[in-house]
Structures are given as structure tokens and as C-alpha cells.
Amino acid sequence: MQRRGLLYVISAPSGAGKTSLCKAIIDILPNLRHSVSHTTRPPRVGEVDGRDYHFVSNAEFDAMVADSAFAEWALVHGNRYGTALASLEEVRDAGCDLLLEIDCQGAAQLKERCPDAIFIFVLPPSFQELERRLKGRQTDAAEVIEQRLRNARIEMREMFWYDYLVINDDFDLASRQLQAILVAAACRTEILKDQVQRLFGEIGR
């Protein structure tokens, strides 16, 4: 019998490389699923509805908030983003682990709501490098980049209540660190004790 899926919550300032790290880790860990958030932000070129985000109108988002359909939601860079409670529970009940890429405000809400979740903060190696990466992406206007840099300084104040920090300087090293964190968290005694008891009965109790 499977254990209930774990919840991994990853936050980072925009441009720290969180999305690439998460993609890499999803490819490696077979039991891990990526949570698809709802957002009122318009799709970027190449983004697919239902794969990258569920792109919804303000009215649709309002309706979900009114229905208490979100496990968490927040206003980030002028747009709203949220994690649907139903899909989160569904994946975990099916025994799959779930990776949430969300901002610090949403993570703080989940810290209250799901105290068993594992919280990971990804950092850029420096503010200079963060700026270089954001400019290099060429997906956002100059004022958007400025806003993201200002937000990065605010978001990074939150990192100290997270369980783990990953400094994304060398991508391969950061991805191995992230993998190690996820794998180790799934081997905690607290997580495995029911499964072990089913395997070995009352031994050692």
C-alpha cells in the first residue's frame, strides 16, 4: 500500500532558475507531479493552457476564491495566482508527490494549512546575476524587470523560515541538491513509519 503523497513547496525570486530546476527534477523522480496553478496573467509566447497554467479571467478567479477552491492564492507582480485545493488533494490521495512552485505569500499560507509540507527556497548566486538572467530572458519589458528585481529583495527576506535553501549558481549542482532534499524528505521516519509497520508489524515498537 502506498503512503500519501508529499507536498514540496518551492519559492524563489523570479530569475533564480526555479522553473528549470523543477523541470529537471520532475524528469528524474517518477513519483513526482508538477502542480498546475491558476492565474489571471495572460499567457506568454509558447505557454499552453492546462500545462503551464490554467489561464483564467478575473471573474473566474473571483468565483474560485468565493468557493474557497484555493489551498492558497496571492497577488504576485500585479496578477493573481492560486493552487486549486481539489487537484492538490487528488494527487496526494493517489500517492503521488506534488511540487508547487509558488511565491512566499502562498507558501506562508500553506505553512499554516499543511504543516507537513517541505519548504525549499531557491536563491540566485547574487543580485547582479539575477539582473543579468532576467534581462537575458527577453520575455518581459524593462519596467517589469525592475519590478521583479525590487520584489526579489523583498521575497529573499522570507527565506529563513523555509526548511532548505538551494543556491543556484551551478545548475547541475543545484539540481542534485534539490533531488537530495526531495529524496531525503521522503525517507524521514515520520513519513515511512506506517509503511514500515505494515511491512514488519509491531517489531521495534
Q: Is 117 among the residues that bind ligand 5GP (CB under 6 A)?
A: no
Whichever of 137 and 188 has its CB closer to ligand 5GP, that residue is: 137
Nearest approach, Cβ of residue 190 and ligand 5GP (Å): 26
3-state secondary structure the chain: CCCCCCEEEEECCCCCCHHHHHHHHHHHCCCEEECCCEECCCCCCCCCECCCEEECCHHHHHHHHHCCCEEEEEEECCEEEEEEHHHHHHHHHCCCEEEEECCHHHHHHHHHHCCCCEEEEEECCCHHHHHHHHHHHCCCCHHHHHHHHHHHHHHHHHHHHCCEEEECCCHHHHHHHHHHHHHHHHCCHHHHHHHHHHHHCCCCC
Residue 71 and residue 113 in contact, taking contact as beta carbons nearer than 8 Å: yes
In 3D space, the residue among 129, 17, 148 whose CA is nearest the CA of residue 79 turns out to be 148
Whichever of 158 and 191 has its CB closer to ligand 5GP, that residue is: 158
Q: Nearest residue to ligand 5GP, using CB?
A: 106
Within positions 81 to 100, which residues make up the interface with ligand 5GP, using CB under 6 A?
81-83
In the set 21, 103, 120, 186, which binds ligand 5GP (CB under 6 A)? 103
In the set 14, 87, 168, 175, which binds ligand 5GP (CB under 6 A)? 14
Site string for ligand 5GP, 23-62 (x = CB under 6 A): --------------x---x---------------------
Nearest approach, Cβ of residue 81 and ligand 5GP (Å): 3
Nearest approach, Cβ of residue 134 and ligand 5GP (Å): 10
In 3D space, the residue among 179, 165, 130 whose CA is nearest the CA of residue 11 turns out to be 165
Q: Is 74 among the residues that bind ligand 5GP (CB under 6 A)?
A: yes
Whichever of 49 and 194 has its CB closer to ligand 5GP, that residue is: 49
Q: Is 71 among the residues that bind ligand 5GP (CB under 6 A)?
A: no
Residues forming the site for ligand 5GP (CB under 6 A): 14, 37, 41, 72-74, 76-77, 81-83, 101-103, 105-106
